[in-house]
Amino acid sequence: MASSMLSGADSLRLMSGISPTGLGFVGSNLHLKSFTKKGLVSFTSDQNAKFFTPRCSLSSSRPASQPRFIQHKKEAFWFYRFLSIVYDHVINPGHWTEDMRDEALEPADLFDRNMRVVDVGGGTGFTTLGIVKHVDAKNVTILDQSPHQLAKAKQKEPLKECTIIEGDAEDLPFPTDYADRYVSAGSIEYWPDPQRGIKEAYRVLKIGGKACVIGPVYPTFWLSRFFADMWMLFPKEEEYIEWFQKAGFKDVKLKRIGPKWYRGVRRHGLIMGCSVTGVKPLSGDSPLQLGPKAEDVQKPVNPFVFALRFILGAIAATYFVLVPIYMWLKDQIVPKGQPI
C-alpha cells in the first residue's frame, strides 16, 4: 500500500466524499484516509477502494503540451544571462524569501553536517545558503547549466567550500547511489522532461536518501493561467506526486509554501509554491524506463524563432514579476482577516 501526504502552512478543510483542494489524482484508485490536523491530509492507494476522480480546484485542466516559450534550455540559458545580474535583488524578494526557503527545506531532513548533498539547478546559491546552515559546505555540490548564475554563487562567502559545476538536471554527472540528499529549487519549470529529471534524482541518491524538489504551482485565475502557459512549466500538485511515484520514490509528501503577504492565495500560481519530497527505497537506478530526451541542446535553432520565443517568454515573465507586487499591495490595503 503506497501513501502520499500533503502538508502546508494553510489548513485544508475536508468534507465527506470531497477531495481536498488541489489534489486531483485522476485515473488512480484512491481511498481517503480521513483525519484532520492543521495542514495535513493523507491518501492511501487501495485496489479495493471505490474509483473516483475528484475535481481539482487548484489546478485547472490544460493540454499536455503548451507553447511555453522559455521552458527550453537554450532560452533559459540566455534568459539567466541577463537575469543573473539582478536575480537575488529582484526575483527572490517577491517569490523566494529566506523564510520560505527555510520552510521548504525543512522536509528534506538536513540533520547531519556530514551529509552529501547535491543542489541541482542551484543558480546563484540562494537555496544552497539554506542548505549550508545544516550541512558542511564541503559536502555540498551546486549544479546549474548557467555559468552566469554560478558566478554569483561563487562570490558568496558561505559557499566558498562548495563544489560548483555546470551540468544538466536531466543528465547528472554523479554516480548512482552517490548522495544522501537531492535538492532542486526553482529549476523544474525549465526542464523539458520533468519526469526524466526526477528519475535522475532517484538514481543519484543512496538507499534511504531523500529528494526535495521545490517549484511552481499552476494558476487557476484565467490571466495568470494564460501567462503561465506562455512562459514555462507550472505543474499541478498531483503531477509532482505522480512524477515522484513513477520514478520509484516512496513516502511522497507535498508541502505548500508561499509568500506570507499572499495570505494563502494560490489562484495566480506561485513561482515557488510547493516542496515535494520522496525517499529512495532501493539502491540502483530508477525502475522507470524513458525514451530519448525531449530537447537536444546541440540541435541548431532558427534565430527568428528563438528571438520570438524569448521575447514572448520575457513578457510573460514580467507579468509574474508584477503579481507579487500586486498581492503585496492588496495585503497592505485589505484588512487582516478578510479574503484578498
d(C-alpha 27, C-alpha 226), whole Å: 26
Where in the chain are the domains?
3-45, 73-279
d(C-alpha 191, C-alpha 199), whole Å: 12
Q: What is the pTM of this model?
A: 0.78
Q: What is the mean pLDDT of each run of 10 residues along the chain (340 residues)?
A: 38 29 31 32 34 32 50 62 58 81 98 98 94 98 92 95 95 97 94 93 98 96 92 92 97 97 95 97 96 71 78 86 93 93
- Beta strands 3-8 and 250-256 are parallel
Please tell me the predicted confidence (pLDDT) of residue 78: 59
Please tell me the predicted confidence (pLDDT) of residue 203: 98
Please tell me the predicted confidence (pLDDT) of residue 165: 97
* SS3 per residue for 41-94: EEEEECCCCCCCCCCCCCCCCCCCCCCCCCCCHHHHHHHHHHHCCCHHHHHHHH
Please give the full DSSP string across 1-36, using - where no structure is assigned.
--EEEEEESS----BTTBPPTT---TTS-EEEEEEE
Please tell me the predicted confidence (pLDDT) of residue 15: 26
d(C-alpha 303, C-alpha 15), whole Å: 53
The domain made up of 73-279 has a fold known as: Rossmann fold (3.40.50)
182, 127 Cβ separation under 8 angstroms: no
d(C-alpha 61, C-alpha 54), whole Å: 12
d(C-alpha 200, C-alpha 190), whole Å: 15
213, 255 Cβ separation under 8 angstroms: no
Please tell me the predicted confidence (pLDDT) of residue 49: 31
Please tell me the predicted confidence (pLDDT) of residue 59: 36
Please tell me the predicted confidence (pLDDT) of residue 117: 98
Please tell me the predicted confidence (pLDDT) of residue 91: 63
The conformational region for residue 281 under phi > 0 = left, psi -120 to 50 = alpha, else beta, is: alpha
Which runs of consecutive H residues, i.e. helices, occur in the chain? Answer: 73-83, 92-95, 98-105, 126-131, 147-154, 194-204, 222-231, 237-247, 303-333
